[in-house]
Amino acid sequence: MGENGAGKTTLLKHLNGLLKPSRGSVKVDSVDTRETTTATLARKVGLVFQNPDSMFFCTSVMEEVMYGLTMFGYSEEEARERCREVLERLDLWSLRDKSPFILSGGEKKRLTIAVVMAWSPKYLVIDEPTSGQDREGKQRLLQTIETIMGEGRSIILSTHDVEFVADLEPRVVLMSQGRVVAEGEAREILTDRALLEKASLLVPQIPSLFLELNRRCGVEVEHRLLRVEDAVCALRREVLPRLRGGVR
């Protein structure tokens, strides 16, 4: 996470070797990215671009998904099977014969993810997954990401959508002006107002609420909470009794 121009996309493009480091080295499962090609790395590291339009080059949604599968040597039958599965999962099956370019913004974004998910890379890297997504799109994305995480694969997201990340509670690496400024659990980082301001990010609504409660009502409750359920518990257990009890 980090402000615009913090270097998130540049970092992600190093993960599958689209960019090679000019100093230092990038290693993917102990393979130096400078010593192999992107095409080889891509099998393991699936990168979803930020801008869908720059990712499409086929004439239909179906072909777009099939492209990577045929490149990686899947048999026709298996490729079709996988294609169908991934398109259904992301609710794009009905659009399979359409041109990728006439899809809506949200559909395009989902297609970019489908395209890469199709060959189940060990690491799924998604640049700005939530940009241009409505509530339903985000919800679906969240479910997909949770499923993939359940399958024991890793997902790396770049985003400044703090609320989306708050729901996932992942490990967060905060970047600013090309450098990593903080790293740790979402619960620690996304509730640290000073740190977030440094990276030009908003504090998510829930910790924001607790920070304000602490400041205005002097209740001094733990503010490092990200989920609605946790917030409800904390409010019920600690805040409400004190407010009722006449504490200012």
Residues that bind another protein (CB under 8 A): 13, 16, 18, 37-39, 42-43, 46-47, 49, 51, 53-58, 67-68, 71-72, 101, 115-116, 119
**Closer Cβ to another protein, 42 or 206, answer by number:** 42
Residue with tokens 């290693």: 27
Shortest CB 100 distance to another protein, Å: 10
Pull the structure tokens for residue 81: 């099977």
Of 202, 190, 242, 193, nearest to 220 by C-alpha is 242
**Closer Cβ to another protein, 57 or 241, answer by number:** 57
**Closer Cβ to another protein, 8 or 223, answer by number:** 8
Q: How far apart are CA 213 and CA 246, in angstroms?
A: 15
**Interaxial angle between packed helices 76-89 and 61-71, expressed in degrees from 0 to 180 and rounded to the nearest 10:** 130
**Closer Cβ to another protein, 29 or 229, answer by number:** 29
**Closer Cβ to another protein, 15 or 195, answer by number:** 15
Task: Compute the CA torsion angle 73, 75, 79, 80 (nearest 10 deg).
Answer: 160
Beta-strand pair 171-176/154-158: unpaired
Cβ neighbours, 10 Å, residue 34? 11
Shortest CB 170 distance to another protein, Å: 23
Shortest CB 9 distance to another protein, Å: 11
Shortest CB 118 distance to another protein, Å: 9
Of 184, 145, 141, 168, nearest to 226 by C-alpha is 168
| Residues whose CB is less than 8 angstroms from the CB of residue 123 and which lie 6 or more positions away in sequence, other chains included | 15, 28, 44, 45, 46, 153, 154, 155, 156
Residue with tokens 């996309």: 9
Shortest CB 45 distance to another protein, Å: 9
**Closer Cβ to another protein, 22 or 246, answer by number:** 22
Shortest CB 102 distance to another protein, Å: 10
Residue with tokens 């298996």: 78
Shortest CB 119 distance to another protein, Å: 8
**Closer Cβ to another protein, 61 or 235, answer by number:** 61
Q: How far apart are CA 207 and CA 226, in angstroms?
A: 6
